[in-house]
Amino acid sequence: MTGHVRISLAAWAATVLGSLVLAPVFSGPFLFISAFLCALVTGTGILLQNLRAPRIVVPVVQLAVLVELLSLIFLRDTLRFGLVPWKETALEFNQQMVNAMSAINRFSAPLPPDDHLTLFAASVIAATGLLIHLIAVQLRQAAWAGLLLLTMYTVPAATVHGGLPALLFIPPAVGYIVLLSAEGRTRLSRWGRRISGVSHLDASEPIEASALGQAGRRIGLTVIVLAALVPALLPTLPEGVIGNGLAGGGGSGGGIGASISSTDPMLDMGKNLKRGDNVTALTYTGGPAGGTYLRLTALDQFDGNIWRISQRNQGQKITNADMLPPQGFNGDLAKVPTTKMKVEVSRSFRSQFAPVPYPLRSISLKDRWRYDPASLDVVSTNGGVVGGKDYNLEAYQLPLTPELLRDTPPGAEPDSYTSQVPTSNMDEIRQLTNDVVADAKGNRFQQAVLLQNFFRSNGNFTYSTDTDTKSGMTALRMFLLDDRVGYCEQFATGMALMARVAGIPSRVGIGFLPGQAGKDGQYVVRMHDMHAWPELYFQGLGWVRFEPTPSARVATTPTWTEQAAPVPSTPTTAPTTAPTTPGASVDPELERPGDRNLPDDNGLAVTETGNWFSNGGAKAIGIGLLVVVLLGIPWLIRSLTRRRRFARPPGRAGVEGLWAEIRDTSRDLGLDWSDSSTPRQLGEWMAGKVPEPVQPQARRLARGLEAVRYAVVTDVEVDLRSEAADVRKALWSQAKLVRRWRARLLPPSWRWYLNRGSAEASDLLDEFDLLLARIRTSLVPRRSRHAD
């Protein structure tokens, strides 16, 4: 096999392996199609190269072949004479790409197996394969092809909700190593065979058996194995221990929260709820007793699949004057009581939206911060984040009561989109909604309360963040009609959708639960307090918050929804208790750590003292203790080993153990114990290190070892424990203080054991090399290898 053929095949293999990472993003047969396309493109390249075609011609022809193949497979109808791509083909391709991009923007992964998406995926992979071929074969720069593989990997890594399967990085990594190895082998073979002393013994060995190729393969293999194993073996550290726990470096998208790249606030909330740590997002003082919900934004547009923020205008400039009145509120705002608050947002919370209560009257954030009059959310206009800011604000406390809400007139809509309901696949949900709100007799508020009760108690819903990572309409349908397991995202969007079905305009608020009350009236809100809730529109009162999420997560419902509708006296088999009762009978496995942050309407349940110990001191002590424990492990193991060795009965194993103990002690004390010295030599060496009275013991120990190790096996009971103890003590007393402490805390004999471990690993790798060589020998005939 010639060099370019080998690299071409390796480039193809790398592309195919690399494309596997897209499996969680797209669905359908795109992997097979793209592998087939790449194979034909690669074959074209090999053929042209063998025909000695000019280097510039090869990629051009390959591209032409790729275009023809894509057209034949996907755009056959637009071809002239059934074969020649024409202008219509290009237009159709463009249209398909636009459709695909639109679908990608609309849906979250995995994308449906539509034709345009398959075309998109196959085109992207095949084009990447073409580029990899170009870089690795034509330009002979295989290493740079790794960037393309990396790019391919970043797509699912950045978009797949809930992260990628842990081991999905292995195929592209292996592909890259295959490519590098093929390239290295070809490059070396151009220099001829290696020079060796005994030429007749290894002249026939292929070049890759050289130490260089071997080392490369070993490093690659070791790195992949380590990368796969180490994260699995490590305990999940709370991210806050290492950094601020937030990966959101320079995420400049419209995202909120700690996530990096997503533009979907719902995704961010899901991630924050599931994250391992629970860092503080913000603190606030003031506000109503018992705390208040803080909202970031409202998702008011539902496109049939996901909830998103509607297209907004520039927003209103924030001034010292009052903001525009809350949408739909017709009362006299001058008579509405207000509450003042001071909010301090943690640096780690990198959102472009400021958490504020609804409805907001005024806020001290100025300059680049604006507010949207309809939703009253406060957003940065230049991509700045709210993290690290503190601001004062004043919010209305609308006087909502069940009676007031019940009397609102029906029919009004605030805008054109908050009432939109998908047109397809809605029959079952419509039926369900009608069943649930049947008792309301057309009253909007009654309907809303019935819906809330349905989610909280009557509908057998279970709160759990361990749900499938799917989102969108499919997941929502499953939640409403099938498994009824979800977290606040599903509850909020489910109620919002059913409210729209019932004719009530709705949107989904995203923000924080009130958090945990601390001393001095300060509330601490953490990442796990992120929450979503529906807001329903009532004529004359505006947007009103409801709470469908069960008591396992949120104990109380808004006061204006209580005693408004007759709640069934027996909640039957509902897994959650009735509203307003903190989850007493909740399945403990489903309870979130955030449950301790349950809002407290009376403001009484103050559990956090906020002293040094709870504010990180405990963690510091814990880390300190951990360090002490870690430092103590070598000492502990050495002590136990020593004890075990001295406890062995006299005889061969006993003497070997004592000898090993003296060896390890010598190494621990920094003495130069040689593995290639015989016991007799070491006995003399030891005698030179210890005081004169102990010298005979040292020699006796060595002779004893000789006897048990080399003489005819007998059942003699040689007891050398006192000799070993004397020698050990003498060696110890001769050592300097620093050495002794090092021997206690960081015994260097460990290093020797580590070396021994690495030697075992090296043996394992030798076996691996041998296996590879055998496979190669059996697969590739000897003559063809010689042709290189």
Partner 1 sequence: MSTTATSSAMDFDELTEVAGRVRRAIETVIEGKPDVVETAVTVLLAEGHLLIEDVPGVGKTMLAKALARSIDCTVRRIQFTPDLLPSDITGVSVFNQEVRDFEFKPGAVFANIVVGDEINRASPKTQAALLESMEERQVTVDTTTYQLEAPFMVIATQNPIEMEGTYPLPEAQRDRFMARVSMGYPEPAAELRMLDGHSATDPLNNLQPVTDSQQVLRLVKTVHSVHVSESVKEYAVALVGATRRSQELRLGASPRATLHLIRAARAAAALDSREFVLPDDLQELAVPVLAHRVLPAAEAHLGGRGASDIITGLVASVPLPRTRRD
Total chain residues near partner 1 (CB under 8 A): 21
Q: Is 657 in the site for partner 1 (CB under 8 A)?
A: yes
Distance between the two ends of the chain, CA-based, in angstroms? Answer: 6
Task: Measure CA 714 to chain center.
Answer: 62
Q: For residue 578, which of 426, 468, 453 has the smallest C-alpha distance? A: 453
Instruction: Kindly tell me which of 675 and 692 has the beta carbon lying closer to partner 1.
Output: 675
List, in sequence order, the alpha helices (H) in 362-504: 402-406, 427-436, 444-453, 473-477, 488-502
The DSSP call for residue 283 is E
The CB-of-694 to partner 1 minimum distance in angstroms stands at 22
The CB-of-709 to partner 1 minimum distance in angstroms stands at 6
* Residue range at the interface with partner 1 (CB under 8 A); choices 38-46, 480-488, 621-629, 654-662: 654-662
**Angle at CA of residue 616, ends 611 and 619, nearest 5°:** 130
Instruction: Kindly tell me which of 455 and 659 has the beta carbon lying closer to partner 1.
Output: 659
**Angle at CA of residue 622, ends 621 and 627, nearest 5°:** 95
**Angle at CA of residue 573, ends 571 and 574, nearest 5°:** 65
The CB-of-663 to partner 1 minimum distance in angstroms stands at 8
The CB-of-148 to partner 1 minimum distance in angstroms stands at 41
Choice from 74, 284, 537, 659 touching partner 1 (CB under 8 A): 659
Choice from 3, 414, 558, 679 touching partner 1 (CB under 8 A): 679
Instruction: Kindly tell me which of 754 and 780 has the beta carbon lying closer to partner 1.
Output: 754
* Residue range at the interface with partner 1 (CB under 8 A); choices 426-434, 511-519, 702-710, 746-754: 702-710
User: Based on the number of CB atoms within 10 Å of its own CB, is 498 exposed (0-12), middle (13-18) or buried (19 or more)?
Assistant: buried
Instruction: Kindly tell me which of 342 and 663 has the beta carbon lying closer to partner 1.
Output: 663
Instruction: Kindly tell me which of 678 and 784 has the beta carbon lying closer to partner 1.
Output: 678
**CA–CA distance, 170 with 489 (Å, rounded to integer):** 33
Identify the three-state secondary structure at position 335.
helix
Q: What is the chain's alpha carbon radius of gyration, rounded to the nearest angstrom?
A: 36
The DSSP call for residue 516 is E
Whose structure tokens read 């934004």?
A: 297
Contact letters for partner 1, residues 711-740 (x by CB under 8 A) = xx----------------------------
Instruction: Kindly tell me which of 268 and 664 has the beta carbon lying closer to partner 1.
Output: 664
The CB-of-714 to partner 1 minimum distance in angstroms stands at 10
Choice from 709, 729, 774, 776 touching partner 1 (CB under 8 A): 709
The CB-of-201 to partner 1 minimum distance in angstroms stands at 10
* Residue range at the interface with partner 1 (CB under 8 A); choices 125-133, 402-410, 575-583, 653-661: 653-661
Q: Give me the amino acid identity at 14.
A: A
* Residue range at the interface with partner 1 (CB under 8 A); choices 272-280, 299-307, 606-614, 655-663: 655-663
Q: Is 675 in the site for partner 1 (CB under 8 A)?
A: yes
Contact letters for partner 1, residues 171-200 (x by CB under 8 A) = --------------------------xx--
List, in sequence order, the alpha helices (H) in 503-617: none
Element (H, E) at 280: strand 280-286
Q: Give me the amino acid identity at 130.
A: L
The CB-of-768 to partner 1 minimum distance in angstroms stands at 19
Choice from 114, 413, 591, 706 touching partner 1 (CB under 8 A): 706
Q: Is 677 in the site for partner 1 (CB under 8 A)?
A: yes
Choice from 614, 681, 722, 758 touching partner 1 (CB under 8 A): 681
| Pair 34, 129: CB distance under 8 Å | yes
**CA–CA distance, 172 with 150 (Å, rounded to integer):** 8
Choice from 519, 680, 751, 774 touching partner 1 (CB under 8 A): 680
Choice from 114, 322, 591, 656 touching partner 1 (CB under 8 A): 656
Q: How far, CA to CA in Å, does 267 sit from each of 44, 307, 499, 532?
A: 44, 11, 22, 11
Instruction: Kindly tell me which of 18 and 657 has the beta carbon lying closer to partner 1.
Output: 657
**CA–CA distance, 318 with 253 (Å, rounded to integer):** 22
Q: Is 653 in the site for partner 1 (CB under 8 A)?
A: yes
Instruction: Kindly tell me which of 198 and 234 has the beta carbon lying closer to partner 1.
Output: 198
Instruction: Kindly tell me which of 528 and 645 has the beta carbon lying closer to partner 1.
Output: 645
The CB-of-769 to partner 1 minimum distance in angstroms stands at 16
Q: Is 710 in the site for partner 1 (CB under 8 A)?
A: yes
The CB-of-664 to partner 1 minimum distance in angstroms stands at 9
Q: Is 389 left (phi over 0), alpha (psi -120 to 50) or beta?
A: beta
Peptide bond just before 402 cis, omega within 30 deg: no
Choice from 678, 733, 762, 777 touching partner 1 (CB under 8 A): 678
Instruction: Kindly tell me which of 517 and 705 has the beta carbon lying closer to partner 1.
Output: 705
**CA–CA distance, 362 with 360 (Å, rounded to integer):** 6
| Pair 459, 578: CB distance under 8 Å | no
Beta-carbon contacts of 622 under 8 Å, excluding residues fewer than 6 positions away, are none
**CA–CA distance, 406 with 403 (Å, rounded to integer):** 5
Instruction: Kindly tell me which of 56 and 711 has the beta carbon lying closer to partner 1.
Output: 711
> Which of positions 237-296 make contact with partner 1 (CB under 8 A)?
none
Q: Is 215 in the site for partner 1 (CB under 8 A)?
A: no
Instruction: Kindly tell me which of 55 and 709 has the beta carbon lying closer to partner 1.
Output: 709
**Angle at CA of residue 221, ends 217 and 222, nearest 5°:** 115
User: Based on the number of CB atoms within 10 Å of its own CB, is 97 exposed (0-12), middle (13-18) or buried (19 or more)?
Assistant: middle
Instruction: Kindly tell me which of 81 and 710 has the beta carbon lying closer to partner 1.
Output: 710
User: Based on the number of CB atoms within 10 Å of its own CB, is 336 exposed (0-12), middle (13-18) or buried (19 or more)?
Assistant: middle
Identify the three-state secondary structure at position 251.
coil
Instruction: Kindly tell me which of 202 and 435 has the beta carbon lying closer to partner 1.
Output: 202
* Residue range at the interface with partner 1 (CB under 8 A); choices 106-114, 118-126, 523-531, 706-714: 706-714
Element (H, E) at 617: none
Q: Is 751 in the site for partner 1 (CB under 8 A)?
A: no
Instruction: Kindly tell me which of 394 and 719 has the beta carbon lying closer to partner 1.
Output: 719
The CB-of-14 to partner 1 minimum distance in angstroms stands at 36
> Which of positions 633-652 make contact with partner 1 (CB under 8 A)?
645
Choice from 660, 671, 725, 765 touching partner 1 (CB under 8 A): 660
Q: Is 776 in the site for partner 1 (CB under 8 A)?
A: no
Greatest CA separation found in the chain? 108
The CB-of-253 to partner 1 minimum distance in angstroms stands at 58
| Pair 288, 502: CB distance under 8 Å | no
Instruction: Kindly tell me which of 466 and 675 has the beta carbon lying closer to partner 1.
Output: 675
The CB-of-665 to partner 1 minimum distance in angstroms stands at 13
The CB-of-683 to partner 1 minimum distance in angstroms stands at 11
| Pair 383, 459: CB distance under 8 Å | no
The CB-of-661 to partner 1 minimum distance in angstroms stands at 8
The two beta strands, 530-538 and 316-317, are unpaired
**CA–CA distance, 673 with 671 (Å, rounded to integer):** 6
> Which of positions 67-106 make contact with partner 1 (CB under 8 A)?
none
* Residue range at the interface with partner 1 (CB under 8 A); choices 313-321, 539-547, 673-681, 773-781: 673-681
Element (H, E) at 663: helix 652-668
Q: What is the binding site for partner 1 (CB under 8 A)?
A: 197-198, 645, 653, 656-657, 659-660, 663, 675-681, 706, 709-712
